[in-house]
């Protein structure tokens, strides 16, 4: 049986880790390289770095930070934010990233998913989807959640899988930063729709929320930020709790 993964997410703005609620009201959470090293030592399975203002500001994710992280950690890490070309992905992988995450750029030009999968392999390509439930329908949002679209979450996820994405990182904007639990109904539906791994994001507040998203949401991995950054849920204790519930994790 494949083990379930615990993934701290570091949202980066101006070289610092930040955390907000519902994608706004950001506060400082520390140095990303130092945090990455701590998480690797604590037993995190992977890391995700998202340069949250890169798309809005129209610039590329910082390569220097990726180099420093690669020097400090021995677990896989994904980098996202403002990525829109093969050249940029090549540079990030050369600096030590294991995977890249694309979001707005994939919606604007879906062929990018095909191109990246063909060039670097599906295992490198994570498509991040920020979606909001509006009147019972899940709609994709772009540019850090600031631009709504009419694109259906489940149809879009299926399309990017067919185009070669190796993994989906689904963030529920309704749940992000609320600490009320993950969007497990939507996650379970995604799991039924897709054949690739799904990372649950948005809403972690307690250890039970992680148990629920693996059992009810059928997620393959669970991503969180503030509960890890501010020491509310220590990763070693979380993994012990998951084991108690017969959820396979790497200890």
Q: Is the distance from CB of 153 to CB of 138 less than 8 angstroms?
A: yes
Residues 6+ positions from 155 with CB-CB distance below 8 Å: none
The C-alpha atoms of residue 109 and residue 35 are separated, in whole angstroms, by 33
Which residues on adjacent β-strands are paired with residue 134?
137
Q: Helices in 129-206 by DSSP H: which ranges? A: 153-163, 184-193
The C-alpha atoms of residue 167 and residue 99 are separated, in whole angstroms, by 10
Residue showing tokens 């995190």: 44
Half-sphere exposure of 159 (CA within 13 A, CB side): 15
Rg (CA), the chain: 16
Give the three-state DSSP class for 108.
Answer: helix
The C-alpha atoms of residue 213 and residue 105 are separated, in whole angstroms, by 28
Q: Helices in 95-193 by DSSP H: which ranges? A: 104-108, 111-120, 153-163, 184-193
Catalytic residues: 11, 130
Closest alpha carbon to 135 in 117, 123, 148: 148
Q: How far is CA 154 from the centre of its chain?
A: 17
């Amino acid at each position: 049986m494949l083990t379930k993964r615990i993934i701290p997410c570091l949202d980066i703005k101006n070289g610092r880790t930040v955390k907000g609620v519902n994608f706004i009201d950001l506060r400082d959470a520390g140095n990303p390289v130092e945090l990455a090293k701590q998480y690797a030592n604590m037993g995190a399975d992977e890391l995700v770095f998202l340069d949250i203002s890169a798309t809005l500001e129209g610039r590329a994710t910082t390569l220097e930070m990726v180099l420093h992280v690669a020097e400090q950690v021995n677990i896989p890490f994904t980098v996202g934010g403002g990525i829109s070309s093969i050249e940029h992905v090549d540079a990030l992988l050369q600096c030590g990233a294991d995977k890249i995450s694309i979001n707005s750029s994939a919606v604007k030009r879906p062929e990018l998913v095909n191109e990246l999968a063909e060039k670097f392999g599906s295992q490198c390509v994570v498509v991040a989807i920020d979606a909001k439930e509006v009147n019972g329908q899940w709609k994709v949002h772009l540019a850090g959640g600031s631009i709504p679209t009419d694109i259906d979450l489940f149809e879009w996820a299926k399309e990017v899988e067919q185009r070669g994405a190796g993994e989906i990182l689904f963030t529920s904007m309704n749940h992000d930063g609320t600490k009320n639990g993950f969007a497990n109904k939507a996650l379970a539906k995604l799991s039924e729709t897709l054949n690739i791994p799904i990372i649950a994001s948005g809403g972690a507040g307690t250890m039970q929320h992680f148990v629920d998203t693996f059992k009810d949401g059928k997620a393959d991995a669970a991503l969180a930020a503030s509960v890890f950054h501010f020491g509310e849920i220590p990763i070693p204790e979380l993994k012990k709790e998951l084991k108690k519930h017969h959820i396979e994790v790497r200890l």
